[in-house]
Amino acid sequence: MKIQIKKCSMKWENKYLSQPLFWSSLLLFMLCNPVRGQRLNIPKDTTYNTMHVWRQIKKSYPHARPATDSLGRDLKITRNLVYTHLAQTDFGPRDLHLDVIRPDDRRNRAAVIWIHGGGWRSGQKEMDVPIAQLLARKGYVCIPVEYQLSLEAKYPNALLNIKSAILWLKNHADQFDIDSSRIVVAGSSAGGHLASLVGLTGGVTKFEPLVDSKHSTRVQAIINLDGVVDFMAPLSLKLERKPDSPDAFWLGGTFAEKPLIWKEASPIFWAREEQKIPMLFINSGLPRFHAGQDELIGMLKRWGTAYQVYTLDVQVHPFWLFHPWVEKCVDVIDEFLIRNLIKKN
């Protein structure tokens, strides 16, 4: 069978490219839609990704397999919804996005906002879509979110981004069958730290986004997977650091240079007895990622605040990215939320 390919005519191009109206319209479009071009200039660190971690661990853990996107007919997913527009950044105006993953029915459900890890510098929301999908199959609306990483913006921008996402979610709760009285913030590694910081600063005026909303950023539960809760804990401070170490870079300086910022960015210093926010900690076997956790748990226990610690016997930090550990994480999260959020309401 012969395939005939016709040459494209250049008449349309010549006709319209010669018109002043064409060029003025094109210029107007570019001026009114700057975000696409601007985002290309934002520096990206791609060193933290699932396949890179898998290559590092598969010799010691040959049974480990990357969790993958497993969307089926039982779930609905809406990807890359704009939850806020940043009119001014060092790289020009740009949007931040989130995904909404939910069971395919019309029941009002608790929502879990999921914050990815990567040392506040690397990673992307798509990495945690697999665990979000598994959790959605347990009956939750799960929302992986994008936020500004440290090569783009330092602390506290990421914190403010996530809080804007919470307000967006509450404002759009009816659209996505969400019970806005049952909002959970969860995260892994740096995302676990951010989840704790976001949750424990809910309603704090200093960190409330400057948007017109009838809601606050308060949440009803916090889930922290291997995230630091105290930058000033001995377990954290004894680590040798360079100025470009992930935490120092994100916080704008070392502890010696920015002690007040290091304290302000530590979730433990925002914990209060009256908050009564249930907290779940899922840990690896690597103690350095749990800096300050014992002290915070002591406070929660003394106050009678619900908490749980579940430790996986594995020397892999991003365990939530892999089978068989991701399934265990989802089961533990589900059981914790049923006990402290679902049945409670």
Cβ atoms 253, 242 nearer than 8 A:
no
In the chain, the amino acid numbered 133 is Q
Cβ atoms 184, 223 nearer than 8 A:
yes
161: tokens are 């981004």
8: tokens are 């494209």
Domains of the chain, each with CATH number or no CATH:
47-342 (3.40.50.1820)
d(CA 191, CA 237): 20
Q: Specify which residues 222 forms β-bridges with.
A: 185, 279
From 119, 122, 113, select the one nearest 144 (Cα to Cα). 113
Cβ atoms 317, 58 nearer than 8 A:
no
Pairing label, strands 221-225, 279-283: parallel
Element (H or E) spanning 98, and its range? strand 94-103
d(CA 299, CA 302): 5
96 backbone dihedrals φ, ψ, rounded to 5°: -115, 145
From 130, 125, 72, 136, select the one nearest 102 (Cα to Cα). 136
d(CA 55, CA 328): 22
From 80, 182, 196, 189, select the one nearest 139 (Cα to Cα). 182
Cβ atoms 101, 141 nearer than 8 A:
yes
Sign, CA dihedral 334-338-339-341, equals positive
Residues in contact with 52: Cβ distance below 8 Å, sequence separation at least 6, in sequence order: none
pTM of the model: 0.88
| Alpha-carbon distances, residue 140 vs 232, 291, 311, 333 (angstroms) | 35, 30, 23, 11
Tens digits of pLDDT across the chain (345 residues): 444 433 434 333 343 344 544 444 434 434 344 434 444 589 999 999 999 999 999 999 999 999 999 878 899 999 999 999 999 999 999 999 999 999 998 789 999 999 999 999 999 999 999 999 999 999 999 999 999 999 999 999 999 999 999 999 999 999 999 999 999 999 999 999 999 999 999 999 999 887 767 889 999 999 999 999 999 998 898 887 877 899 999 999 999 999 999 999 999 999 999 999 999 999 999 999 999 999 999 999 999 999 999 999 999 999 999 999 999 999 999 999 999 997 554
